[in-house]
Structure 1
Amino acid sequence: MGLFSSLFGKKEENTKVEENKTMSKVLFVKANDRPAEQAVSSKMYETFVSTYKEANPNTEITELDLFALDLPYYGNIAISGGYKRSQGMELTAEEEKAVATVDQYLNQFLEADKVVFAFPLWNFTVPAPLITYISYLSQAGKTFKYTANGPEGLAGGKKVVVLGARGSDYSSEQMAPMEMAVNYVTTVLGFWGITNPETVVIEGHNQYPDRSQQIVEEGLENVKKVAAKF
């Protein structure tokens, strides 16, 4: 009986070790500084995170609130610093700082096994902090590479969910080309080699006020379903 208990305990211990070895790193990225009671994409984010955490209590999770981070714009200093580093040239203090900031978020993204993006459509596109963040991540040799046949994505091994909200209905043939939020993000992901992100969109809740509550509630149920199996 003692031997059985010892062997069983050893097996249980080994199982826990294996679970820890295969534990996923999950990155949640939110690009909306409005509270959940006022913004549907913020509510989608909160719903996804809480549902996922409940189903995966031991997962390593990192949450990024892009508005709270106040990320510096991606411009000449960061671009010049990145180029100079690639050429073995000396960087200025400003360039060193800018390149270090880019590296911080780029490496964090690359190390994640799963990533969730949540954002609204504002004035036909995504909020500015998300554009800055994506600019940090779009680095040759990291998320994509140049080849004779054109760019090739390097980040295709990730599982990604895109959560988007838009008050108007962009599902019609006339409106669809004007949607440059979810389309923008999924296009960039495809450029990085992530060609199969799962997308959940809640739309039309402002355009159809008589059905607003139903639209949002049904959308959040979809969010829960996706989060539970993510």
Structure 2
Amino acid sequence: MSKILNVISSPRGEASNSIKLANAIIDQLRAQDPAAVVEVKDLTKSPFPHLEEVHLNAFFTPIEHHTEENKAAISHSNQAIREIMDANVIVIGAPMYNFGIPSVLKSWFDHIARAGITFKYGANGPEGLVTGKKAYIAVATGGIYSSGDSAGYDFVVPYIKAFLGFIGITDVTVIRAEGLAIPGIQETALDKAIDSIQL
């Protein structure tokens, strides 16, 4: 039985195209594995705090020396890491906001990146410790960023793939619903993206 972690970063609820696309991916995953368990992580309803001094102090203080303040500050990070470690498949819904990812998603990533836990530095550089996972990125954009003149403005897919690779998740499939704000394209953009899903 596999476990799927569905990470939501759009606040638009049922109107969100990234959520719709992520749900379509999960539907196909469950069709292949009906016993799969889906855990929903809605970062817009339970946002992770932006990293502050108290969090960084907790990250760099040895566990055996943690104060009650350290324990409280590191609880979000421990939770996020536990959830990603427990999952076999991670589906990340990522709408493009001003060429990048939503801040709630960035905060979640910031709490997952922990030296010695999700990555480590060795003689040959960084090594990811979150291995054996499959990830799908469900991207929704108003324009076309997979190719053409605007491709250089896409800081969503390269960033997420780089982050996931850094912590050890290298089996990543990107599915894009793009042109969602362009007349003549927007009408079929989501259906086209769903039809392109290949597991």
Q: 1:66 offset after TM fit, Å?
A: 0.6
Q: Does 2:160 align with 1:185?
A: yes
> Pairwise CA RMSD of aligned residues?
1.8
2:58 alignment counterpart? 81
* Distance in 2, Cα, partners of 1:135 & 1:51: 30
Stretch of structure 1 that moved more, 25-34 or 171-180: 171-180
* Match for residue 29 of structure 2 among 27, 46, 52: 52
**SS class of match (2:145):** coil
Q: Does 2:15 align with 1:41?
A: no
Q: 1:198 offset after TM fit, Å?
A: 0.8
1:67 alignment counterpart? 44
* Match for residue 222 of structure 1 among 181, 196, 199: 196
Q: 1:83 offset after TM fit, Å?
A: 1.1
* Distance in 1, Cα, partners of 2:60 & 2:26: 37
**SS class of match (2:98):** coil
* Distance in 1, Cα, partners of 2:47 & 2:13: 17
1:31 alignment counterpart? 9
Q: 1:172 offset after TM fit, Å?
A: 3.5
| Structure 2 segments unaligned to the other structure (5+ residues) | none
Q: 1:150 offset after TM fit, Å?
A: 0.9
Matches within 5 A, 1:1-230: 23-37=1-15, 39-86=16-63, 88-91=64-67, 93-206=68-181, 208-223=182-197, 226=198, 229=199
Kindly indicate whether the alpha-carbon contact (under 8 Å) linking 2:119 and 2:130 is maintained by their aligned counterparts in 1: yes
* Distance in 2, Cα, partners of 1:211 & 1:175: 16
* Distance in 2, Cα, partners of 1:194 & 1:90: 29
**2:49 counterpart letter in structure 1:** P
Q: 1:52 offset after TM fit, Å?
A: 3.4
What whole-Å deviation, never above 9, does each CA across 1:36-85 have from its counterpart, x for those lacking one?
A: 33x32122123233443454332122111111112222221111012113
TM-score calculated relative to the size of structure 2: 0.91
Q: 1:171 offset after TM fit, Å?
A: 3.0
Identity %: 28
**2:191 counterpart letter in structure 1:** E
| Structure 1 segments unaligned to the other structure (5+ residues) | 1-22
Q: 1:100 offset after TM fit, Å?
A: 1.9
- Return structure 1 stretches of 4+ with deviation > 6 angstroms: none
1:4 alignment counterpart? none
What whole-Å deviation, never above 9, does each CA across 1:9-40 have from its counterpart, x for those lacking one?
A: xxxxxxxxxxxxxx112211111110333x32
Q: 1:106 offset after TM fit, Å?
A: 0.6
Number of residue pairs matched by the alignment: 199
Q: 1:114 offset after TM fit, Å?
A: 1.1
